[in-house]
Every structure is written in C-alpha cells, then in structure tokens.
C-alpha cells in the first residue's frame, strides 16, 4: 500500500516512460537580487549549493544538455527521455521574447521532451502563462514556484520580496490554464512554530497544486541566515532526523491526498553547510525511514485532511 502520493513513477504513468531532469543554468538572476524588488537575495540562499557541477552559466544550454544527458546516462540508465530543468534563480525573470530565445535550444533538441521552469510568483504574468499554455500543447511543461512560506511575516524576514497573496494568485492562474503547478515550501524558517508550519498543509490543500517539494532549512555558509541563526537560535525550530520524519508525517496527514509529493528533504553538499546534524544520510535512505515510520504509525497522506470523506482510502490502495 502506498501511504502518500509519491512523485516516483509519475512520468511513467502520465507519459509512458521515465523522464530525467537535466538541470540548466541559463544565467538568470532574481528580482530580490538585481534591485527590481530588492537586493541581497533570500537570506538562506546560495544557488551554488543547489545544482550539479555540469550546470554553469558559462556553458551554452546545448553544452549543458549534452553533459547532463551523459551524466544521467551513467546514473539513470532506464531514462526514456529528458526534461530541461531551468532551475537556478528565477527562470522567467525576463521579457517573454527573451525567454523564448533562452528556451529555444532545449525545445528544439529532439532528446528533450519538455521543460521544467523554476521561478517565483512575481516573475510570472498572464502573457507568459498563455505562452506556456500554448507550448504545453506540443511539449511537456511544468512550472515550479518558490513559495517557501504561506506567511507574509516570514517572507519579509527572509527577504523574498513577494507576498503570500501573490503566490496564491499565481498558483490559481497557472492551474486554470491546465499547467502542472509545483511549489516549494521550507520547514524551519525563522519565527515559525511547528503549529504554523503544519497549518500550511491545510492552506495549500485548498489550492490547485499539482506537486509539492518539502525542504528542511539548511544553514548554508556565508548566507545572512547563518548569522541570524548564530545570534537568534531561539527563533528557529530545528529537527533531529527522527523528529523531522514524524513532523513530515503530521504534515502529510493534513495534506490533500490528490497533491503529489515530489520531495520531502533538500540535499545540500556538506561543504556548503555549517554543520550536518543528520550526518551524511542520503535522500533515498530518508525515504525508506519515512515508509517505515508511516507503517509504524499506520497512517497516510490525507488521514486528517479536512476535505476528506471518512470512507476515502489511502493513496494507492
């Protein structure tokens, strides 16, 4: 029995084959870095920690695709195709005509089945959404929004530069066009309690979210949040590994069972973080521990979801 709606196997079920994401760094910035809405970027962020070595903006997109496919051929031999994942920074932070030029090498590559675009709610508009909707008639299109928190107080504190209302509006407008709507949320941001973090499951469950990536806050060296964590540790909720797994299960119980869970943890290379409280455990092992703990607690995604009918079975039954 599958106890949560895992993203594993999503591409096979929807498109008939396994698709592997090839990360592309197209040289974008973010509006809270370049002065559009602010400067300094998110307080927790160092994008070097979030993407592979083959993906650097000094290489052409074609070169990154070539090297990325070669990289994944060794690691994931069963991939039947590839998606160009425009991941670092905000990948719609440019006029639409410029975006078309940037995406073109990936879209014209016969090995690439479509694109995944990581961005922010304030870097999207109706014109861009309409473009992605038209493109989705020919190619796979997945949009991922960095939301990080449903609370404006938190968003201001981490220097996001956008509001929850902007995020909520963009989630709705994206889904209305039939586009895959993915979002990111971080657990452990300063000032948030466990109760507030859990309440986000109910908030997100009422929105047309396709998939969700959950991350624990990792304190990256050299970031503003490293200094904040050192000076105000009481403002942060921290988790041991076992505490985090139980917390994620509590969150999943409240989450709409129709939402795919694409990730429950983030992985930052140890050289980037100021400590590794969970050791060097990999994501696959954490997922195994999650499965075991779900069995022990005999629970599942949506078990306490407010919109759930009592007779509804766990995902996958």
Residue 315 covered by a domain: no
Question: What are the φ and ψ backbone dihedral angles of 284, each rounded to 5 degrees?
Answer: -60, -35
Query: How many domains does one find in the chain?
Result: 1
- Please check whether residue 184 is in contact with residue 120, taking contact to mean a CB–CB distance below 8 angstroms: no
Residue 308 covered by a domain: no
For residue 313, the model assigns a pLDDT of: 44
Residue 177 structure tokens? 């066009």
pLDDT beneath 70, residues of the chain? 49-51, 76-77, 308-317
CA 61 to chain centroid: 22
For residue 23, the model assigns a pLDDT of: 95
- Please check whether residue 174 is in contact with residue 202, taking contact to mean a CB–CB distance below 8 angstroms: no
For residue 49, the model assigns a pLDDT of: 64
Residue 2 covered by a domain: no
**Cα–Cα nearest to 253, from 314, 165, 310, 193:** 314
Residue 92 covered by a domain: yes
For residue 54, the model assigns a pLDDT of: 80
Name the residue range of residue 195's domain.
10-297
- Please check whether residue 259 is in contact with residue 215, taking contact to mean a CB–CB distance below 8 angstroms: no
**pTM of this prediction?**
0.93
Residue 264 covered by a domain: yes
For residue 308, the model assigns a pLDDT of: 53
The interaxial angle of helices 194-205 and 241-254, nearest 10 deg, is 30
For residue 317, the model assigns a pLDDT of: 40
Beta carbons within 8 Å of 292's beta carbon, 6+ residues apart:
none
Residue 316 covered by a domain: no
- Please check whether residue 231 is in contact with residue 49, taking contact to mean a CB–CB distance below 8 angstroms: no
Residue 122 covered by a domain: yes
Residue 299 structure tokens? 């629970």
For residue 67, the model assigns a pLDDT of: 93
Enclosing H/E stretch for 183: strand 180-187
Residue 307 covered by a domain: no
CATH number at residue 80: 3.20.20.70
């Amino acid at each position: 029995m599958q106890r949560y709606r895992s993203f594993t196997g999503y591409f096979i079920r929807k498109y008939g084959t396994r698709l592997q994401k090839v990360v592309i760094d197209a040289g974008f910035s973010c509006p809270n870095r370049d002065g559009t809405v602010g400067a300094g970027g998110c307080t927790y962020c160092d994008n070097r920690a979030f993407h592979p070595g083959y993906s650097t903006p000094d290489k052409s997109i074609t070169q990154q695709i070539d090297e990325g496919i070669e990289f994944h051929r060794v690691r994931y031999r069963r991939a039947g195709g590839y998606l160009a994942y425009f991941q670092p920074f905000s990948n719609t932070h440019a006029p639409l005509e410029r975006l078309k030029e940037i995406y073109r090498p990936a879209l014209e590559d016969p090995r690439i089945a479509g694109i995944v675009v990581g961005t922010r709610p304030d870097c999207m508009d109706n014109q861009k959404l309409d473009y992605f909707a038209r493109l989705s008639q020919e190619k796979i299109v997945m949009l991922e929004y960095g939301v990080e928190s449903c609370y404006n107080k938190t968003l201001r504190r981490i220097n996001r530069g956008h509001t929850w209302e902007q995020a909520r509006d963009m989630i709705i407008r994206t889904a209305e066009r039939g586009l895959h709507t993915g979002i990111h949320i971080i657990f452990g941001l300063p000032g948030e309690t466990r109760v507030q973090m859990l309440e986000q499951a109910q908030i997100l469950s009422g929105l047309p979210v396709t998939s969700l990536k959950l991350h624990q806050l990792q304190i990256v060296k050299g970031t503003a949040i490293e200094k904040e964590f050192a000076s105000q540790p009481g403002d942060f909720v921290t988790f041991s590994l076992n505490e985090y797994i139980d917390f994620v299960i509590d969150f999943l119980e409240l989450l709409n069972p129709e939402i795919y869970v694409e990730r429950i943890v983030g992985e930052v290379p140890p050289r980037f973080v100021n400590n590794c409280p969970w050791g060097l455990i990999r994501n696959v092992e954490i997922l195994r521990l999650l499965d075991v703990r779900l069995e022990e607690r005999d629970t599942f995604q949506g078990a306490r979801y407010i919109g759930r009918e009592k007779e509804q079975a766990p995902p996958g039954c």
